[in-house]
């Protein structure tokens, strides 16, 4: 176990802690938190990982940690790191995570809680029957090889073009629903493709979910209205990623980089930080494969949205059951962005792993209808707890990034030992939250006690000036992966 690094309050403002550069660190560590900046889990090495990331070739600014930071593979989950592409900056699959483009989508229903209430059990049953979940195969849309190619290249756009959604959906997806520059060749290996064929339109497992929610509180009426949500409204939130395809791509490219690193003279503090220069053939190949997996994840959330729409319209009719996309955003991805560094614009490879992009009002990457309010930032809560809709703010730190969720503080095993799934289900149902899917063990592993308090994480994110609250959502029903 590495020694816990020294961390101190930052002079740059409230809600910030700093790890001064020592040893091989090229930049400081910056941890955003209101109090107790140390991750709570016993043996959690997240801060040591913040230090390791600070030593990556080409890193600029700082090695950042969001308020929900916890221990991950190589990089901490809740970590943000940018490298200077033209100054030998590296790209690392560990800085994106195994679940490439894991993310969240929020849809707004055309009804309120009271209108839905009599039909909620039937809607939940229909969702339970329509939403593939759990490990392994199961898909809303079984793909042929050529269809998979289109999904990898065009993401949610191909799903919509094929009748799975409406054109307006794409305007409300980050990057218009498709990252450009996705792999056209062997960067996505045969095993990754095989795993992807049978999983498009599926939740997966762990903390992934589809929830029916109610808008519990609105903090900014104007922003909420621009985004298409209002108090009392029913919403659907989907949290999932690129399933086995993204996992296999990460595995394959970590192995390739682990072998290639020496050739580029890249030395890292932890083998799990395997990295190569962004401009190297291996770096470019990873970014193309990552984009393909990101497109798969976006199409995955699009297909699940369609399944949810069928469940809602089936029970509520085509008018009341309509689901309008609020936004779709990833929290596990690297992107090439231009930012000012020491006063000059630089091309950066920004790794966000368990961190959400949070563009401020007026940013040119926003669609016109969101230009005034900023980028919607979707923060999924833990089962049975609140979720949040935030928006990016001017001057947001960490290259315009925010948190991504509550952040685990107890292992799956530890969580399951603490509370039985049966009791948890009874607790949820006694609070009027319908649960469909998963096993007792699956429920117990995701117990709210295994996570930080989402309200506190979001408050810390806001007070650190990373993003601000637009609305809070609470669950009415959950379909667990």
Active site residue 158: no
429 CB-side CA count, 13 A: 11
Single out the residue of 125, 194, 258, 284 in contact with DNA (rule: CB under 7 A).
Answer: 194
Q: Give the integer Cα–Cα distance in Å for 350 and 80.
A: 7
CB of 122 to DNA, least distance (A): 27
Among 49, 248, 256, 295, binds DNA (CB under 7 A): 248
Region from 86-94, 116-124, 188-196, 424-432 binding DNA, contact rule CB under 7 A: 188-196
Q: Tell me the CA end-to-end span of the chain in Å, nearest whole number.
A: 33
Determine which residue in the list 16, 119, 150, 195 makes contact with DNA, applying CB under 7 A: 195
Q: Indicate which residue of 247, 351, 404, 413 is catalytic.
A: 404
Residue 481: partners with Cβ closer than 8 Å, 6 or more residues away:
133, 134, 203, 204, 205, 206, 207, 208, 209, 240, 437, 438, 442
* Among 157, 164, 247, 452, interactor with DNA by CB under 7 A: 247
Instruction: Out of 34, 49, 63, 207, point to the residue binding DNA (CB under 7 A).
Output: 207
CB of 481 vs DNA, minimal distance in Å: 6
| Closest CB to DNA among residues 136, 181 | 136
Q: Is 129 in the site for DNA (CB under 7 A)?
A: no
Stretch in the footprint of DNA (CB under 7 A) among 177-185, 197-205, 214-222, 375-383: 197-205
Closest CB to DNA among 164 and 247?
247
Stretch that binds DNA, among 44-52, 86-94, 194-202, 276-284 (CB under 7 A): 194-202
DSSP state of 161: H
Q: Which of 28, 74, 241, 321 binds DNA (CB under 7 A)?
A: 241
Complex with DNA: residue 150 or 243, whichever CB lies closer: 243
The interface mask with DNA, positions 343-362, x = CB under 7 A, is --------------------
Q: Is 452 in the site for DNA (CB under 7 A)?
A: no
C-alpha to C-alpha distance for 151 and 165, rounded to whole angstroms? 14
> Alpha-carbon distance 303 to 131, whole Å?
10
Provide the annotated binding site for Mn(2+). Answer: 99, 208, 239, 331
| Residues of each annotated binding site for GMP | 207-211, 331-332, 380-383, 387, 404-407, 480
**Residue 98 near DNA by CB under 7 A:** yes
Q: E-assigned strands of 285-420?
A: 323-330, 332-341, 344-353, 356-357, 376-379, 387-392, 401-402
Between CA 14 and CA 438 the distance in angstroms is 41
Q: Does 102 bind DNA (CB under 7 A)?
A: yes
Taking CB under 7 A as the rule, does residue 366 contact DNA?
A: no
- Closer residue to DNA (CB): 93 or 477: 93
Q: Is 481 one of the binding residues for DNA (CB under 7 A)?
A: yes
How many residues in the shown chain lie near DNA by CB under 7 A? Answer: 23
**411 lies in the site for DNA, by CB under 7 A:** no
Q: Which stretch binds DNA (CB under 7 A): 4-12, 187-195, 386-394, 459-467?
A: 187-195
Binding residue (CB under 7 A) for DNA from 14, 136, 181, 362: 136
| Residues within window 371-410 making contact with DNA, judged by CB under 7 A | 408
CB of 410 vs DNA, minimal distance in Å: 12
For residue 478, what are the β-bridge partners? 211, 435
Q: Cα separation of 388 and 369, whole Å?
A: 20
x-or-dash pattern for DNA, window 66-95, by CB under 7 A? -------x----------------------
Euclidean distance between CA atoms 57 and 269, whole angstroms? 11
Min CB(251)–DNA separation in Å: 7
State CA 75 to chain mean position distance: 15
Phi, psi dihedral angles at 92 (to 5 degrees): -130, 125
Measure the CA–CA gap between 311 and 301, rounded to whole angstroms: 15
Give start and end residues of each alpha helix (H) in 180-320. 190-197, 221-227, 243-260, 281-320
Residues contacting 273, CB < 8 A, separation 6+: 52, 53, 56, 74, 75, 92, 94, 95
Taking the C-alpha atoms of residue 305 and residue 164, their distance in angstroms, rounded to an integer, is 9
CA distance 405 to 287: 25
Looking from the CA of 291 toward its CB, the CA atoms found within 13 Å total: 21
| 79/481 with CB nearer DNA | 481
CA dist., res. 223 & res. 375, Å (int): 10
Q: Are strands 77-84 and 332-341 parallel, antiparallel or unpaired?
A: unpaired
Q: Which range of residues in 147-155, 244-252, 380-388, 469-477 is near DNA by CB under 7 A?
A: 244-252
Which position among 5, 128, 204, 228 is part of the footprint of DNA (CB under 7 A)? Answer: 204
Among 29, 94, 155, 244, binds DNA (CB under 7 A): 244
How far apart CA 371 and CA 391 sit, in angstroms, is 11
Contact with DNA (CB under 7 A) among 26, 110, 191, 230: 191
Binding interface with DNA (CB under 7 A):
73, 98-99, 102, 135-136, 191, 194-195, 199, 204-208, 240-241, 243-244, 247-248, 408, 481
The catalytic residues are 404
């Amino acid at each position: 176990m590495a020694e816990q690094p020294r961390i101190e309050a930052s002079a740059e403002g409230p809600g910030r802690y700093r790890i001064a550069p020592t040893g091989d660190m090229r930049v400081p560590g910056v941890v955003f938190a209101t109090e107790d900046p140390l991750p709570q889990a016993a043996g959690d090495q997240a801060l040591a990982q913040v230090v390791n990331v600070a030593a990556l070739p080409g890193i600029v600014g700082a090695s950042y940690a969001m308020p929900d930071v916890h221990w991950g593979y190589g990089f901490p989950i809740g970590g943000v790191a940018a490298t200077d592409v033209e100054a030998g900056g590296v790209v690392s699959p560990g800085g994106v995570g195994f679940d490439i483009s894991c993310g969240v989508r929020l849809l707004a229903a055309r009804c309120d809680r009271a209108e839905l209430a009599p039909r909620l059990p039937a809607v939940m049953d229909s969702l339970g029957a329509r939403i593939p979940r759990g490990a392994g195969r199961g898909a809303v849309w079984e793909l042929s090889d050529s269809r998979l190619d289109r999904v990898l290249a065009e993401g949610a756009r191909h799903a919509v073009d094929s009748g799975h959604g409406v054109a307006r959906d794409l305007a409300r997806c980050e990057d218009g629903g498709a990252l450009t520059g996705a792999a056209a060749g062997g960067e996505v290996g045969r095993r990754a493709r095989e795993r992807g064929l049978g999983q498009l339109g599926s939740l997966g497992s762990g903390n992934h979910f589809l929830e029916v929610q109610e808008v519990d509180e609105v903090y900014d009426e104007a922003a909420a209205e621009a985004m298409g949500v209002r108090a009392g409204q029913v919403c659907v939130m989907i949290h999932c990623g690129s399933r086995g395809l993204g996992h296999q791509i990460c595995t394959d490219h970590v192995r390739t980089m682990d072998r290639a690193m020496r050739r580029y003279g890249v030395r890292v503090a932890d083998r799990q930080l395997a990295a190569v220069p962004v401009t190297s053939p291996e770096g470019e190949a990873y970014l193309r494969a990552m984009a393909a997996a990101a497109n798969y994840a976006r199409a995955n959330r699009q297909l699940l949205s369609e399944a949810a729409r069928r469940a809602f319209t089936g029970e509520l009719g085509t008018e009341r059951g309509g689901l309008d996309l609020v936004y779709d955003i990833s929290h596990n991805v690297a992107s090439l962005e231009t930012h000012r560094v020491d006063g000059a614009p630089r091309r950066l490879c920004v790794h966000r792993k368990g961190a959400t992009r949070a563009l401020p009002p007026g940013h040119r990457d926003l669609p016109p209808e969101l230009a005034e309010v900023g980028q919607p930032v979707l923060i999924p809560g833990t089962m049975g707890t609140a979720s949040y809709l935030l928006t990016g703010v001017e001057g947001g730190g960490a290259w315009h990034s925010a948190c991504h969720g509550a952040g685990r503080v107890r292992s799956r095993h530890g969580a399951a030992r603490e509370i039985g799934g049966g009791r948890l289900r009874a607790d949820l149902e006694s609070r009027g939250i319908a649960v469909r899917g998963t096993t007792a063990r699956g429920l117990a592993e995701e117990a709210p006690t295994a996570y930080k308090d989402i309200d506190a994480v979001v408050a810390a994110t806001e007070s650190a000036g990373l993003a601000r609250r637009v609305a809070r959502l609470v669950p009415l029903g959950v379909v667990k992966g």
